[in-house]
Chains A and B, each alone.
Chain A
């Protein structure tokens, strides 16, 4: 684009990085919160530019149709979360759960995390992807532990150790990919550049690629939150500040999934390698059914929605595992819908927990009576995430199910079973949360409802009408994914 001093793919990295440095220096949380919002908005603008202006693939960074989807979603939810965060944090400061010093740290970390995630998404080097995912993980670990309570520290520690093991396994897989590429491409950085790798993947040693994928699936799968590697996820969601729960569910899981998809494409480009599909389908279904049953036993509201994230990541990984144009399309759509809906739910839940002063579901009742806006937002959000029409999640889930029925009816039965179990649990909970006799505090709330409404409106519109441009774009990406 003429007149822009830096290219947009550099801007999505530079803006958060500069903002992180700035926020680390500036005192005063009101100003910081505003800068946080502005920086996130600028990143979003840069990401939108990527739609129109596609830079050449470099050795380190590149942009194609696939990662544009992720970058846009990332910066969009990053922006709305920063708006929500501004009001959320103000309240936390008031009640004294956070101090000003921590807030400075929090804002700097927020932008650093956005930098890490954007870097992972635009990186063209598989080593760089790994470093970026590690950076994003570390910053979220620090933020999960920010309340310094015993529970928060335990959650951060658990996240840290499990995340580190996952990330170590992913690195081992990355090394194996390099080893496979080494005889074909030769020594040096070229053998780690994804665009070069995909071009010559067919010549690689298939056995080595297979092995590499197993490590990558386990490694990045830990970060996606696939059962049985999910143990860190509910704790990290429940004990950290709610804006972080929203970005964890809405974005970080997607970034890890993106890394996994890139490697899956490498495998798919090799006719002799194992099909990555069945592995992903199995892990996806296990996560879905497991999380659906776990939903029933939850008593903490944020923990419950964390399990719902595991459930949906299961569906998404399943859809990408089924592959084919329709499977990939459905997976991509479901991922987008889940990110938007789940972050909207966490925004709502964050305000609810602040009003009520608790996250225990037994102490939250009759929200639609006492806080109609929050209560009905929660009802709408849960209806959307449970897959009720007319929301977008219904459509994407329907696509996943129907495309599976056409090819593997037995798997589709398991899928439907898991979805229905999860649906029941959510419905059961939301009726007690939203309706009935109000319990607990009923004080007024200063909620920033705009991000919630914006997300829910997007999901609703997507459920009613998908613009043909978007459909064509997603179809193209689905073809890319093979």
Chain B
């Protein structure tokens, strides 16, 4: 396989990690959703590239799902939601931006330190893809725990899920990838519909202790 193939695959996977970092320092929800759309576009490119170099045409379906559903439909829905709920100005991180960036760097270092030795026997394209994918997953988790409203939590979950699709396509010839990406799309659609229907603004563990107590049925 020409060296260029690796380089392009790694560039795309690396861009995903970079975009995950960009999400970490977004203060406005609208901007966060834009970055998410870009994240999905890069994912689609990356998956399409994997389909090309592995010669697996069915992966193009996964790429198409990523492009249409995650880069266009979901961001549009999220933008509408932000307008509907009137939360476009929200600045709502639990920790400071600097701290979460540092934590993000730590997580990338962690995933490299963990994955690269563990995958020594694996094909080199898959190997670094998986390590980068784990970084995307972990930063997605970080985004979910450092943000306080439902929309940005969903954005965190979506970026986490992009990381998993990256890992699944990087693993050569893995069966069921298309099915799994469809299953995930259903999950995401349900989450988005869920926010729409229930108008969930705050994330579940609100800092308001009284609301928490009421919710748990422990004080009435």
Residues of chain A whose beta carbon lies under 8 Å from any beta carbon of chain B: 125, 127-128, 130-131, 134, 138, 145, 150-151, 153-154, 156-158, 160-161, 164-165, 167-169, 171-172, 175-176, 178-179, 182-183, 187-189, 191-192, 205, 207-208, 210-211, 234-235, 238, 297-300, 303, 359-360
Q: How large is the interface on B (under 10, 10 to 19, 20 to 34, 35 or more residues)?
A: 35 or more
CB proximity of B158 to chain A, nearest CB, Å: 10
Q: Which residues of B contact A156 (CB under 8 A)?
A: 194
CB proximity of B87 to chain A, nearest CB, Å: 16
Q: Which residue of B lies closest to A190 (CB)?
A: B175
Segment 165-212 of B: residues with Cβ below 8 Å from A = 167-168, 171-176, 179-180, 183, 186-187, 190-191, 194, 198, 200, 203-204
Question: A182 touching B172 by the CB < 8 A rule?
Answer: yes
Question: A208 touching B122 by the CB < 8 A rule?
Answer: yes
Query: Could you tell me the dominant secondary structure of chain B's interface residues?
Result: helix
CB proximity of B40 to chain A, nearest CB, Å: 16
How many A-B pairs have beta carbons closer than 8 Å: the answer is 130
Given contacts A208-B118, A211-B114, contact A188 B130 (CB under 8 A): no
Q: Which residues of B contact A172 (CB under 8 A)?
A: 133-134, 137, 164, 167
Q: Which of A131, A208, A299, A300 contacts B179 (CB 8 A)?
A: A131
Bound-state CA distance A298–B150 (Å) is 28
Bound-state CA distance A179–B198 (Å) is 40
Given contacts A161-B157, A172-B134, A207-B118, contact A128 B176 (CB under 8 A): yes
Query: Could you tell me the dominant secondary structure of chain A's interface residues?
Result: helix
Bound-state CA distance A349–B44 (Å) is 50
Given contacts A160-B194, A188-B175, contact A210 B118 (CB under 8 A): yes
> Lowest 9 A-B CB distances belong to which pairs?
A187-B173, A207-B118, A127-B176, A158-B204, A300-B217, A189-B175, A205-B121, A153-B198, A211-B118
| Given A127-B175, A175-B167, A187-B173, 7 further pairs, Cβ under 8 A | A164-B191, A179-B119, A188-B175, A205-B122, A299-B218, A300-B216, A359-B217
Q: Can you report 27 A-B residue pairs in the complex whose CB atoms are below 8 A from each other?
A: A127-B175, A127-B179, A131-B183, A138-B187, A138-B190, A150-B215, A153-B198, A154-B200, A158-B204, A161-B144, A164-B191, A175-B130, A179-B122, A179-B130, A182-B171, A183-B121, A183-B122, A187-B172, A187-B173, A191-B175, A207-B118, A207-B120, A208-B119, A235-B216, A303-B216, A359-B217, A360-B217
Question: A130 touching B180 by the CB < 8 A rule?
Answer: yes
Residue among B164, B173, B174, B203 having the largest count of chain A Cβ atoms under 10 Å: B174
